[in-house]
Amino acid sequence: QQLIDEGNEKINCDFNGEMKKLNDHVDNSCPLNLLDCWYKPFGCAHECTKQKLQEHLTLKLKFHFDLVVKFVDSLKKTIKLNQDEIIQLKLKIELNEKKYEENRILINENISMELKKKEFLEKDNEIKKLEKELIKLRDEIERLKGNVSPSHSPKRKKINRCLA
């Protein structure tokens, strides 16, 4: 049997049960247990016995109401900050999507330019080969002109036939 002085009242525990039921009694039904105020999550640090809790809740009604109002105001500020952050993040996403699209277009243009450059180089090499062939053919024509005697020319043959 223990006594506790809460204000001017003395509260005692009359537990006379078996030892195996003591833990359950201490955890759940002992009048000497101190309980947190229901408004602890909002900032009230008061602890009292179960018998005094209702009295505390009644006497501190305005205090508890002010704690809840303060908490709600804090939540509103947090919500506003989060909403502002969401707006900023959405703007960043839009900007990044535009940049992504611009980069995609530039990459496609770059690929197209590389393909055209490759085609150009291939055509340029083809032109150079054709120019070399042309030079060879001109040289061959000049060589053949030098090998042909004037008596073998078609005009000369006509003249020779007429004369004969």
Is residue 1 over pLDDT 90?
no
Q: Supply the pLDDT for residue 154.
A: 67
Token pair 């105001």 is found at 73
Is residue 138 over pLDDT 80?
yes
Q: What is the mean pLDDT of residues 13-17?
A: 83
* 54-113 pLDDT tens trace: 999 999 999 999 999 999 999 999 999 999 999 999 999 999 999 999 999 999 999 999
The 3-state DSSP class for residue 32 equals coil
Q: Is 115 exposed, middle or buried (0-12, 13-18, 19+ CB in 10 A)?
A: exposed
- Do residues 42 and 64 lie in contact, with contact meaning Cβ atoms separated by under 8 Å? yes
| Between residues 1 and 109, the one the model is more confident about | 109
The region, left, alpha or beta by phi > 0 then psi within -120 to 50, assigned to residue 148 is: beta
Nearest to 34 by CA among 13, 20, 16, 19: 13
CA 107 to chain centre: 22
Provide, rounded to the nearest whole percent, the portion of the chain with pLDDT above 90: 61
